[in-house]
Structure 1
């Protein structure tokens, strides 16, 4: 049985594989675009397609984890992620890199789905949100370190080095899970993969208003975060003139803001509950989104102003995300894998379309990133103040 501390550590590693996969190579993105002679749209596919595969993969990994348990699905997915990461580091062309990134996304799906499902296996929603906030503090450390490491490796060893570092981290995570993480699912759902039973579970989850409220919140707040991830290297390096190392420092500072928010989230939860906590987080989200939009309207946007807006949005995200991840699976103790998979699927679909849009919209200015972030900030705040307040605390167990 996992203690809360070990559970938080395990989930930090599993959830942290996502920012490692997406953030560590960001400083290399402009350079690999040039060296592989790739158009902007293809470069964005290395970000957006991994999220699409990640989303589709969750629809498979979730039911598999309900049927066979969390640990075997975790080990299989982490193995696939590690192999694909090696392929990314060795990719001779942008097409090969895009294909390997898609397989990374499929493997990553097991890590995220099983981490969320393990949370519901072990804890009730409010306690789960507290443990998740600790896990996301650990994730914040990885998110903070990833662009710093990626910037240093890119500057000194070229664009393949950050991709090789992702492979090393993936293999290490597989070894840690194999050695330390026990099975957390107390019972298997023998019918989880039967089409009729699966359809019934999916319908039960999607129709639940609490699931819809928290999934909408998580998807919109992550849509803004992904916009920052996918556009920021081109903006900070191409528009604001930072070096890859300087860009890594900027991204690390925004990750520190996110990590600080997870600590603040833990202070808010006992007093205000999940719904009250995200209501307060919405203030930071809106300030960041509108601040970035205002900076984008300037003819000469100032780096400090852009960074401040980035920090504020990330701070709001650090409050919304632990609550959203606990809330989406809260009503479904028997089918947490399916609920986690569906929530992740919707989140990934939003991110995929953000990536497609950015491939066409990025124009050498701050404006696409600024206006896009304002859109997601207002959408997140709208959900936090309406649907989550009406349905966000309804955690009665639903039979599925």
Structure 2
């Protein structure tokens, strides 16, 4: 069995949280091909990303509270099974509408592992150790979005865009096997609260009454919002505006992910001496600086794709510094409701990102500027939120 404070457990938890990024990033280079093959517009194809985020948010409403009540492992296995079956539906989708629907179901399945992965960390670790564990997971998880677009770029010319979903299906089935055979139950004491829609809403309302929780959820959703804006818009901007091919796009996307991995490694070194908030402070500065620099370069008419990719790597370093520590800080006050707190955090994060993705998709009209403006806005807002909430965070 997998044990706490081992690399093997960290790797499994990281792969569980990577299920969502894998489902998204691997097929990014194929978005234009999907639009062409299924006779869909860019906005319709964008919905395969944005509806995935809505499904991700909807699933998280239930997974956390149910796992607090019945245990982490059975709920985790249900999510992995749903993800695997929905990946099969994506593979066989005959039109854009059915692909969007299958992506929504795929997201419902993928949302379970990420919620429960964070809850397991809170079950097993405290304080800065939890933040360090989430950063370690993020470092390993970061390898997935780094190689997923490259893998997708290699798969698409050989087997078409549908093979990306075959790969996701195999990944989900493999993880389900490992969880069933090797992952022990981490929940020491099950919640006695009756499960109902109203009881979940009451629990969410109680969590939102905690000022510190609200602040860290806001920081997490802003950091992820800018990242998702790049995920959803970069394939059209870099391939259509800057003329990159699918493989060149995949490599540039991987370069951006290296910034994220660098941020997570740096966070592991900083969180001990500087604490969770000290690490977040550096992270939000990187978010604001990366987004602002991208706006300046693109608005100045720099013709190279590096005007987008370079600043985005800095922004992603900020994501790696900010998001794991903000998540750990949000969950710390609620050891008895870690699943529920993780669910609500995920709902807020994914709903915001989905809305941002839809707005961005409607404004991608052949110009690169809407993308950096969106990313800069989230970075500057994160910096402002951190600067204005010192009392709430200390409380």
Q: TM-score range by the shorter chain?
A: over 0.9
Q: Kindly report which structure 2 residues correspond to 1:117-196, keeping only aligned pairs within 5 A, or say none.
A: 117-194=119-196
Mapped to 2, the partners of 1:221 and 1:195 lie a distance apart of 29
Mapped to 1, the partners of 2:102 and 2:217 lie a distance apart of 28
- 1:328 corresponding residue in structure 2: 330
Moved more, 370-379 or 2-11: 2-11
Moved more, 209-218 or 168-177: 168-177
Displacement of 1:66 in angstroms is 0.7
- 2:105 corresponding residue in structure 1: 103
- 1:390 corresponding residue in structure 2: 391
Aligned 8 A contact 2:20 2:110 in 1? yes
Residues 355-398 of structure 1 deviation map (CA, whole Å, 9 limit, x = unaligned): 211221001121110111111110111122232x333355xxxx
Aligned 8 A contact 2:219 2:386 in 1? yes
Aligned 8 A contact 2:360 2:374 in 1? no
Query: TM-score, normalised on structure 1?
Result: 0.95
> Which one of the candidate residues 71, 77, 80 is aligned to 2:79?
77
Q: Kindly report which structure 2 residues correspond to 1:254-269, keeping only aligned pairs within 5 A, or say none.
A: 254-269=256-271
Query: TM-score, normalised on structure 2?
Result: 0.96
> Which one of the candidate residues 37, 45, 48 is aligned to 2:47?
45
- 1:202 corresponding residue in structure 2: 204
- 1:316 corresponding residue in structure 2: 318
> Which one of the candidate residues 362, 379, 382 is aligned to 1:380?
382
The structure-2 alpha-carbon separation of the partners of 1:48 and 1:179, relative to structure 1 and needing over 3 Å to count, comes to same
Structure 2 gap segments, 5+ residues each: none
Report the secondary structure of 1:174's partner residue: helix
Mapped to 2, the partners of 1:192 and 1:365 lie a distance apart of 52
Displacement of 1:194 in angstroms is 4.0
Mapped to 2, the partners of 1:195 and 1:158 lie a distance apart of 42
Displacement of 1:261 in angstroms is 0.9
**What number of residue pairs does the alignment pair up?**
393
Report the secondary structure of 1:334's partner residue: helix
Residues 102-160 of structure 1 deviation map (CA, whole Å, 9 limit, x = unaligned): 00111111111101111111111211001111111110111111111011112332211
Report the secondary structure of 1:335's partner residue: helix
- 1:358 corresponding residue in structure 2: 360
Mapped to 1, the partners of 2:125 and 2:191 lie a distance apart of 19
Moved more, 260-269 or 279-288: 279-288
Aligned 8 A contact 2:298 2:307 in 1? no
Displacement of 1:198 in angstroms is 3.2
Structure 1 gap segments, 5+ residues each: 395-400
1:61 matched to 2:63: yes
Mapped to 2, the partners of 1:217 and 1:141 lie a distance apart of 23
Displacement of 1:4 in angstroms is 1.7
Aligned 8 A contact 2:16 2:175 in 1? yes
Displacement of 1:225 in angstroms is 0.4
Moved more, 293-302 or 281-290: 293-302
Displacement of 1:298 in angstroms is 3.1
- 1:13 corresponding residue in structure 2: 15
1:371 matched to 2:376: no
- 1:397 corresponding residue in structure 2: none
Aligned 8 A contact 1:283 1:316 in 2? yes
Mapped to 1, the partners of 2:265 and 2:223 lie a distance apart of 18
Report the secondary structure of 1:45's partner residue: helix
Displacement of 1:169 in angstroms is 1.0
Displacement of 1:192 in angstroms is 4.5
Report the secondary structure of 2:142's partner residue: helix
Moved more, 224-233 or 324-333: 324-333
Report the secondary structure of 1:301's partner residue: coil
- 1:398 corresponding residue in structure 2: none
Aligned 8 A contact 2:308 2:372 in 1? no
Displacement of 1:236 in angstroms is 1.0
Displacement of 1:243 in angstroms is 0.9
Report the secondary structure of 1:4's partner residue: coil
Mapped to 1, the partners of 2:315 and 2:64 lie a distance apart of 30
